[in-house]
Amino acid sequence: MHVTSTGMKRLCARWSLAFVLLALIAALSMTGVRAGDGPQAPIIALTNDPSSGALLKSDGKALYRSVDQGASWASIPLPPLAGGSIAAIAVPADRAGAVFIAGPGLGVLSTENEGSSWTRSNTGLPSNEVTAFAAHATLGETLYAFVPENGIYRSQDAGENWKLVDKGPKEIQQLIHTDMQGSMETGWLYAATSQGVRVSMDCFCLWRDAGELNGQTDTVAYDPQQPERLYAASEQGLFRSTNGGQEWEPATAPDALVAALTVTPSGVLFAASIDGALFRSTDQAETWERFGE
């Protein structure tokens, strides 16, 4: 086949473009950024930094941070997850820069330098099958991890060591700690479970139903300004409590299936849908604004 000089130049240009694209794809793969990630990727976990209000989210494989209420997101580098997935994100109350992630097959990992390096924090856990994780509302060194068929483990040294403290409810989807008054110790633990919301003082004296919110409940959140104000998303819809979960009332839900909830220090409620949409409410779930398109 005869190729003219002009044709050869065009062919070389195409090859050069192809090599550039392949190099770009390889570079993105090495940094953990994948096609389809970003603000519209599926959201599995959502939380906020109590010191700054910055949002953090994960689709299970990648981790992102937003400092403008979800309008834009920056990727936080992760180590190879080795088959594990992120199920929960937690930011300790008084440890600037510290971020913990946990999940099945992953155990517990932490970073204090925006992902430049990560530390595994699994000493004392029976396995890496952590499905729910929470930071204490006020004590930055205290953390909680739930391992199915084993129970709830607590660390009081920022994850260096873990100790079984309670069998806990079964099938915990999410775990949060609040500093609501009335506890015999330092606060309360709430668990979103397959049978509604359960609650216990953090002395682990007794788990009980939080009101009559029954059925599969995927996420629960509380307002740091008013710890007795709770929100929960269940198969029946979105609910709100103003008395620590003793009673619940239906709340206006965003136009999507809610997968995760979080409330910032300023009282702004965020809801994430499984398809990656983010919604914001500034009036305690009366109205919603689709945010961060």
2, 134: one domain: no
Mean pLDDT by 10 residues, the chain (293 residues): 39 36 34 40 91 94 94 94 92 91 97 95 97 97 97 97 96 97 96 96 96 93 97 94 97 93 96 92 96 64
Q: In what order do the strands lie in the sheet with 163-166?
A: 132-135, 143-147, 151-155, 163-166
153, 22: one domain: no
pLDDT value for 224: 96
7, 141: one domain: no
Q: In angstroms, rounded to a whole number, what is the distance separating the alpha carbons of residues 67 and 270?
A: 14
pLDDT value for 292: 60
133, 4: one domain: no
Residues 6+ apart with CB under 8 A from 236: 214, 215
104, 245: one domain: yes
Tokens of 62: 């990648």
**Identity of the residue numbered 105:** G
What is the SS3 string spanning 180-231?
CCCCCCCCEEEEEECCEEEEEECCCCCCEECCCCCCCEEEEEEECCEEEEEE
CA 104, chain centre distance (Å): 14
Q: In angstroms, rounded to a whole number, what is the distance separating the alpha carbons of residues 273 and 254?
A: 9
pLDDT value for 50: 92
CA distances from 112 to 109, 143, 176, 195 (A): 11, 15, 21, 36
4, 124: one domain: no
Pairing of strands 269-273, 226-234: unpaired
Q: In angstroms, rounded to a whole number, what is the distance separating the alpha carbons of residues 99 and 115?
A: 9
Contact of 50 with 224, CB cutoff 8 Å = yes
88, 15: one domain: no
17, 46: one domain: no
25, 55: one domain: no
pLDDT value for 32: 36
pLDDT value for 218: 95
pTM: 0.85
pLDDT value for 267: 95
pLDDT value for 95: 83
Number of domains in the chain: 2
**Identity of the residue numbered 143:** L
Domain range for 221:
37-291
19, 95: one domain: no
Domain holding 189: CATH number? 2.130.10.10
Q: In angstroms, rounded to a whole number, what is the distance separating the alpha carbons of residues 221 and 169?
A: 18
pLDDT value for 293: 54
pLDDT value for 214: 85
116, 165: one domain: yes
Q: In angstroms, rounded to a whole number, what is the distance separating the alpha carbons of residues 182 and 83?
A: 41
CA distances from 256 to 47, 192, 290 (A): 18, 19, 10
53, 178: one domain: yes
Q: In angstroms, rounded to a whole number, what is the distance separating the alpha carbons of residues 75 and 26?
A: 17
